[in-house]
Each structure stands twice: as structure tokens, then as C-alpha cells.
Amino acid sequence: MKKNTMMRIASVLLVVVLLTTSVISGTFAKYVTSGSAADTARVAEFGVVISAGGQLFGDTYKAVGEGNSIVAWSNASAGTVNSGTEDDNVVAPGTLNNDGLTFGVVGAPEVKVAVDFAVTGSDIILKQGTGYNKTTTSTNTTDTFDLATDYNPVIFTLSQDIGGGYTAVAAAGDTLEEIAAYLNGLDAEYAPNTDLATKIGSFKITWAWAFDGNDDADTLLGDLAVNNALTDTANYNLATEFSVNISVTQID
């Protein structure tokens, strides 16, 4: 009997609870309601760094055995080769630059980018020909020499480091004109998050003018630098220049 009473009370309570729940939930629904949404974004990273260092030519050179090929100009008689004027860079047989000129691009931008190279280069050259006088002051017409091919006394080497150190790029050639053409061909677009250090990395240009190369041609070039006296100036170039301009631009 006691159990039945308890069961009855429990049943009634269950029904009452069920009914009041619906009533209470209805009451709550009448309050003020609100909602909010938010979103945050950060500025995408660019962080591309274009660097350049070192120097390609110098105004004073020490002998190879004395360490660095280019040294700071101190006076007109310093070193084994000296331009005579500070900042007036020169090259001569036996000079070289193993430290070279370096330039490169690093960074992994979160945007698509285009990398553009604007490179120019010109070389010292004595062009293929016959009957070159061994010196510009020579009057002896038999004292001549021939060049079967163009003579580029300064041999350049382009190396690239995309991780793991510099490696010579054979395809780039060994004149500044060829190297410039090679670098200009590296223009490319890169997808976001491309690590440019592994695609472009760092370049280094080194060079050497062999001391024991073509003595006749070397001497003529040296004399020409003083007199500049060949009748056909199209046959030679006495100045070597190199300029590089790299730009990394976001593209849409």
C-alpha cells in the first residue's frame, strides 16, 4: 500500500515536472536575444630580402700569394697592380677576385611574387682578327699576331648557393655578357610560400685574368689602355662593367 502511494506521487510529480518544463522554457524564450560573430586576419607576410655584397673589381691588387686579390687603396704604389687613382678600378694580367660580388634573394612571402632580373654586363675583349701589331708603337709590320677567336682575357665564374654552398653554374658561360643573359633568363613567378632561398638563393661572380695567357694580346690591350690607338675601335673593348638589379613584386 505504501509502495503504491509512493508510485502515485512519483507519477504525478513526473507529469508536473514535464508540464512545468515546457512552461518555463516558454518563459525563458521571451528575453532579449543577441548574437555576435567575429573574424580576424593578419597581414600576410612579405619579408623578401634582396642583398648584395662584396665588389667585383678593385683599384689595388696584391699578388695571389699574398692573400686577398683586392686590397684597399692606400697610395699609388701599393700592391702589385694599382690604378694610380683611388676608386678607379682596374684589371690586369694576374689579377683575380675569388671573394667576388654576391647578390641574392631570400624570403618566403605568403603572396605570389614575380622576380625580375635586370642585368647588364660588358667584357674586355680583343676581337678575332689578323695583323694586330704587338704594340701600338711598333713600326715593324712583321711584328704582328693573329687571333683566331675573340680574346676575353678576364674569365668570370657564376656560382649559386640554394642551400649547401656555392656551386659553379656552367650554363652561365664565362663572360659577363653571357652571365647577364643567363641571369636575365631567370625571371619567374613564384607561388605563395615559396622559399626563394631554395629557388634563387645567392649568386657569386668571381673572375681571374690569367697571368700566363696570350701575352701578345694582353700587351696590346695594355698599350691600348694608354694610347687607345687602333684605327678600328670596334675590334676591342677596354672596359668591363656589370650591373644587376633584382626586383621582387607581388602579383595579383
Partner 1 sequence: MKKSNKRKSGAVWLVVLILFICVAATTMAFLSRLDNFLLDDSGAISLLGDSDNGKDKDNQSSATQSGSENAGSTSQQGNKKPTNPGFEASDNNTVWSTNTKVEIFRISYENGEKVVTVQSDGGDKVIAPGTENSYVFKLKNTGDVALDYTVEIDAFCTPQGTEIPIESRVNRYDGKWIAGSGTEYADVAQLDKAEDSATLGAGRYTYYTLDWLWEFESGDDERDTALGNLATEQDLLFTIVIKTTATESANPNDQSGISAPQMGDNTHFTLLITLAICSFVVMISLIIYERREKRRENAEAKKVEEKEDI
Residue numbers of the site for partner 1 (CB under 8 A)? 4, 7, 11, 14-15, 18, 22, 26, 29-30, 32-47, 108-112, 191-193, 250-252
Report, in angstroms and rounded to the nearest whole number, the Rg of the chain calculated over CA atoms.
38
Q: How far apart are CA 161 and CA 173, in angstroms?
A: 17
Nearer to partner 1, 108 or 186 (CB): 108
Q: Which grid coordinates are listed for 168?
A: 659553379
Q: What backbone phi and psi angles, to 5 degrees, belong to 11?
A: -65, -45
Nearer to partner 1, 104 or 121 (CB): 104
Report the residue number, 15 or 76, with the smaller CB distance to partner 1: 15
**Smallest gap from residue 23 Cβ to partner 1 (A):** 11
Alpha carbons 192 and 107: distance in angstroms, whole number? 11
CB of 116 to partner 1, least distance (A): 15
C-alpha torsion angle, residues 11, 13, 14, 17 (rounded to 10): 160
Residue 23 or 226: the one with the smaller Cβ distance to partner 1 is 23
Q: List phi, psi (to 5°) of 3.
A: -60, -45
Give 165's Cβ-side CA count (13 Å radius).
1
CB nearer to partner 1: give 234 or 251: 251
Kindly state the smallest distance separating residue 196's Cβ from partner 1, in Å: 13
CB of 4 to partner 1, least distance (A): 7
Among candidate residues 99, 110, 117, the one with its CA nearest the CA of residue 200? 117
At its nearest, how many Å lie between partner 1 and the CB of residue 3? Answer: 9
